[in-house]
Amino acid sequence: MTKRIKPALQLFMAAVMAAALFIAWGSDANAKSLSFTASDDAWMWGTTFMGSSTTSLSVYGGQDKKAYLKFTASGAGTIQDAILKVTCVTGGTATVDAYAGTGNNTWTEANLAWNNQPAVGTLLDSKNINFVAGNTYSFRVNSLVSANGTYSIILKATAGSEVAFASKEGANAPQLIVSDGTTPISSEGPSLAGYTLYKDYSFGTSKNVNSLTALSNNFNAYGIAGTTVINSEWQRYQPINATNHVLTSNSLDLTAVANLGGVYDGGISSGQITTKETFYPSNGKTYIFQLRAKIPNGVGTWPAFWMYSPGGTGSTASEIDIFEFFNSPTQNHYDWTGYDHGSGVGDNYYNIMTNQWVWHPGTDFSADYHTYSLVWKEGEIQKWVDGTMVKGTNFLWYGPAPQVLINLAIGGSPNSNPTSATFPAKFSLDYFRVYVKN
């Protein structure tokens, strides 16, 4: 998040942090992850069967085009996580929903018809994005797929243009991926082949970080700067509490409210979590840091997911911004920013950013959850948004190993000042996970 700590504070923190060492802590137990290809898939145009021999499945709300997929999961035991992965072959901006298919699981792609098609049941997941041909997209379907069995899933659009996904006859067949243990599935992002889940913080009362006590056991409320106000921001971070760290069934909502006096600098409280551990990819390690989150879109909001050096001998203000979203006259919730700081920042060896500062893919990132990833090995970092690698950078870290910070800032430079309509602002976190490969 741009400049964070003034030099005097860096020197102070150096005295505190100079002796800090990276400590490897135990990884969670490995578990079996299984992938199943669709046994049947086809699409319907209203009540008209459009066949199954084609290599794509059309989805279009304006003409009631729906895709039907059927999977049989077996050998998985108790399923704790399940994801449908489909690859786009015809892109467009649309809202595509995944629904449970109910009433009939005996249909096949050869006999699907108006009188035996599964009914559209419970909404499982939704994406309101710009679908890009060639990219793979994931829908969480664990509320339907919780045990071995046969399941029907329907893809149905409620707005936007027509899009199409590869069928099982195509080059990238639809996949149902399930996990039967404590190792979750990465819904989107870089490949996790060869990685071990190092730590899983899944937020919500139905998950493993399910109380403020559990949150406090794993995170601090203050980062390296403590209670120091940085970047002229208006919020004041608070100890972990039920107002600024709101646990729902399936999320942790870092929440900013104007309860310290009003909508002015210092009148706003907000939530932040920082890891108690520090990280550095020494001895040939590679880390993946991954956050699935939904950002706010109010004026003056500034959600961020980042890593910072505490300063000290050898430090040159190294910082990795995995993402930031400003809400200012020039940037908003459509503009992903992932800037890097310090003298160790080298050239980008891969880059699809719209300009030097932002990536603007036409996606409203506040409309849905997205998965943000950092791949870090010594000398190199990669930043991913969902299934898209946005940039790869030659990068050397100087200074003590950093912690990971996730916070909702308000106002400040270069952001806009908030208004009363900004509040309450919520930065919703589904999970934060760390993977490691030796």
**What does each C-alpha distance from 200 to 193, 208, 252, 332, 432 come to in angstroms?**
17, 8, 14, 30, 6
Q: In the chain, which stretches have pLDDT less than 70?
A: 2-33, 51-53, 180-188
One domain, residues 414 and 433 = yes
Which is it for the CA torsion 219, 225, 226, 228, positive or negative?
Answer: negative
What distance in Å separates the CA atoms of residue 315 and residue 5, rounded to the nearest whole number?
12
Task: Report the CATH number that the domain containing residue 143 is assigned in CATH.
Answer: 2.60.120
What is the per-residue pLDDT for 6? Answer: 34
Total length of the chain: 438
Residue 243 carries which DSSP code? T
Last residue of a domain, one of 135, 151, 179: 179
Residue 284 carries which DSSP code? T
Task: Tell me which residue of 137, 199, 203, 165 sits closest to 368, measured CA to CA.
Answer: 137
What is the per-residue pLDDT for 430? Answer: 94
One domain, residues 173 and 197 = no
E strand or H helix at 212: helix 212-218
One domain, residues 153 and 219 = no
One domain, residues 226 and 161 = no
One domain, residues 228 and 244 = yes
- Residue 354 inside a domain? The answer is yes
- Residue 100 inside a domain? The answer is yes
- Residue 2 inside a domain? The answer is no
**Domain count for the chain:** 2
Q: CA angle, corner 124, sides to 121 and 128, nearest 5?
A: 115
Q: What is the pTM of this model?
A: 0.69
Q: Which residues sit opposite 191 in a β-bridge?
A: none
* Token pair recorded at residue 330: 């020039």
What is the per-residue pLDDT for 301? Answer: 98
What is the per-residue pLDDT for 356? Answer: 85
What is the per-residue pLDDT for 253? Answer: 98
Task: Tell me which residue of 386, 309, 429 sits closest to 11, measured CA to CA.
Answer: 309
What is the per-residue pLDDT for 224? Answer: 73
One domain, residues 154 and 90 = yes
What is the per-residue pLDDT for 25? Answer: 26
Per residue in 227-253, is it b (16+ CB within 10 Å) or e — as a string? eeebbebbbbbbebeeebbbbeebbbb
One domain, residues 173 and 196 = no
One domain, residues 338 and 416 = yes
Q: CA angle, corner 99, sides to 103 and 46, nearest 5?
A: 75
What distance in Å separates the CA atoms of residue 353 and residue 336, rounded to the nearest whole number?
9
Q: Which domain holds residue 417?
A: 7-28+190-437
Task: Report the CATH number that the domain containing residue 13 is assigned in CATH.
Answer: 2.60.120.200
Last residue of a domain, one of 152, 179, 206: 179
Residue 410 Ramachandran class (φ > 0 left, ψ -120 to 50 alpha, else beta): beta
What distance in Å separates the CA atoms of residue 3 and residue 22, rounded to the nearest whole number?
24
- Residue 185 inside a domain? The answer is no
- Residue 349 inside a domain? The answer is yes
Residues 6+ apart with CB under 8 A from 19: none
One domain, residues 203 and 156 = no
One domain, residues 219 and 170 = no
One domain, residues 109 and 241 = no
Last residue of a domain, one of 147, 179, 211: 179
- Residue 198 inside a domain? The answer is yes
One domain, residues 173 and 296 = no
